[in-house]
């Protein structure tokens, strides 16, 4: 039986093989996405594949540069043929929690540019109800942390600013210069309504609930790849 890392690599390869010549694609962040980007670099070298990519984080950007994957800045494009990304939690309706890598705001902007949003992950990310395992990541304008904390509390969430290494690093800062925090709600009975309420709080630049955005999930499981 293949290890989970091997299965994640298989999922990444399968997703990368969906990319066609001439596409402009969004490339996400995370361990499974890194396998996808690696395979895309191989295809460009071996097949002379002609594509252009938009990256959702500095880590992915650096990987693309190392693999000679052509990049455009996010602001240069308004539409993408395909976006491939990872997730932290996935429910049966393909709703997601994302943001453990602190890139969820840029990832959501990129996801909004396509009608072909593919999620690749391992089976440990599949849940019955969002919020079972993880908090909802928030990207917050630094000066709004107080008001955001209080307004999220009214919604039933406990906001904790995400910190780096204890005693060495300060708060985690996004690539856009904002604070990253985590709002723990526990199991979320109505993720769509919660997402809408978080959208309405001034000072939250982005949150990690991705509702009705993913069009396909490729899941690495102990029994092989599962798609839904």
CATH number for the domain spanning 188: value is 3.30.70.260
Could you tell me if 43 and 83 lie in one domain? yes
Q: What is the per-residue pLDDT for 164?
A: 85
Residue 81, pLDDT > 80, answer yes
Contacts of 92 (CB under 8 A, 6+ apart): 126, 128, 228
Give the count of domains, the chain. Answer: 2
Contacts of 79 (CB under 8 A, 6+ apart): 24, 113, 114
Q: What is the per-residue pLDDT for 158?
A: 98
Q: Catalytic positions, please?
A: 107
Domain of residue 32: give its range.
4-126+211-222
Q: What is the pLDDT of residues 19-69, one digit of tens each?
A: 999 999 999 988 899 999 999 999 999 999 999 999 988 999 999 999 999
Over residues 12-25, mean pLDDT: 97
Question: Is the residue at 227 inside a domain?
Answer: no
Q: How far apart are CA 71 and CA 62, in angstroms?
A: 11
Could you tell me if 113 and 143 lie in one domain? no
Could you tell me if 157 and 111 lie in one domain? no
Question: Is the residue at 107 inside a domain?
Answer: yes
pLDDT above 70 coverage of the chain, percent? 98
Residue 144, pLDDT > 80, answer yes
């Amino acid at each position: 039986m293949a290890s989970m890392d091997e299965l994640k690599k298989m999922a990444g390869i399968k997703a990368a093989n969906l990319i066609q010549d001439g596409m402009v694609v969004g490339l996400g962040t995370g361990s499974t996405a890194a396998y996808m980007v690696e395979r895309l670099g191989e295809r460009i070298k071996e097949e002379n594949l002609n594509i252009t990519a938009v990256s959702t984080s500095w880590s992915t950007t650096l990987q693309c540069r190392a693999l000679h994957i052509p990049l455009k800045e996010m602001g240069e494009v308004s539409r993408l043929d395909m976006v491939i990304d990872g997730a932290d939690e996935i429910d049966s309706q393909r709703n997601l929690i994302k943001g453990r890598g602190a890139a969820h705001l840029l990832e959501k902007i990129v996801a909004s540019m396509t009608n072909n949003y593919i999620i690749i992950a391992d089976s440990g990310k599949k849940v019955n109800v969002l919020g079972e395992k993880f908090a909802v990541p928030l990207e917050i304008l630094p000066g709004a942390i107080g008001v955001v904390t209080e307004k999220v509390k009214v919604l039933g969430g406990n906001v904790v600013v995400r910190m780096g290494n204890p005693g060495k690093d300060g708060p985690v800062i996004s690539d856009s210069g904002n604070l990253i925090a985590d709002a723990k709600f526990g199991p979320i009975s109505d993720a769509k309504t919660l997402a809408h309420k978080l959208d309405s709080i001034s000072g939250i630049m982005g949150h990690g609930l991705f509702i009705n955005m993913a069009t396909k999930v490729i899941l690495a499981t102990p029994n092989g790849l599962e798609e839904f």
